[in-house]
Amino acid sequence: MAYWLLKSEPDDWSWDQQQARGKAGEDWSGVRNYQARNNLRAMKVGDRGFFYHSGAGKEIVGIVEVSAPAQPDPTDKTGQWLSVKVRAVRDIPSPVSMPDIKSNSRLKNMVLVRNSRLSVQPVSPDEWRIICEMGGLDSTARSS
DNA sequence: GCCAACGTTGGC
DNA sequence: GCCAACGTTGGC
């Protein structure tokens, strides 16, 4: 299973809204960046992702699961962009903020630190585990 | 509100 | 194909 990080402005699409969609999930649409599109294409159903609030917030607030693979973005008329579907899995008990991440030397190579503008990012297994621990999820909670 | 980083556009 | 100009993103 691969790990990802999805960024959203809470004013645009918030974690509360994502959670409210429940198991039905929501299209992760509107991505218009090639690198981000390539990451969407690489996602498999069952992959996990951090839900990160950019702008107001700047913190990882939840975990989502890819529930449908990449398909043409319904909001794109040109047919060249992709979206996946994600559903909320759980919140992070103690949201992990950008300063938290930047102050952890083990996370200094995170894409979020190196290229904060990329809206769909890969996360390494180590980074995933470290952030889950920082967020207050024990290994039992993480594996379910 | 500022500005650095990044991506895209378009003239050459 | 290079690169300057421009627009956007997002942390601060």
Residue A144 has pLDDT above 70, yes or no: no
Region A9-38: mean pLDDT is 94
Q: What is the pLDDT of residue A66?
A: 97
Q: What is the pLDDT of residue A9?
A: 94
Which bases of chain C come closer than 7 Å to a protein CB? Answer: 9-12
Closest nucleotide to A53 by C1' from CA:
C10
Side-by-side strand order, sheet with A82-97 = A26-28, A82-97, A59-72, A48-53, A3-8, A120-123
Residue A27 has pLDDT above 70, yes or no: yes
CB-strand contact A108/B, under 7 Å: no
Q: What is the pLDDT of residue A78?
A: 85
Average pLDDT, chain A: 93
Which bases of chain B come closer than 7 Å to a protein CB? Answer: 5-8
Tracing tokens 């585990």 back to the chain, one arrives at A129
For A44-96, the pLDDT digits (tens) are 999 999 999 999 899 999 999 999 999 999 998 888 899 999 999 999 999 99
Residue A139 has pLDDT above 70, yes or no: no
CB-strand contact A58/C, under 7 Å: yes
Q: What is the pLDDT of residue A77?
A: 83
Question: Is residue A30 a contact partner of residue A100, using CB atoms and an 8 Å limit?
Answer: no
Region A4-29: mean pLDDT is 95
Q: What is the pTM of this model?
A: 0.93
Closest nucleotide to A33 by C1' from CA:
B7
CB-strand contact A48/C, under 7 Å: no
Tracing tokens 């809206």 back to the chain, one arrives at A119
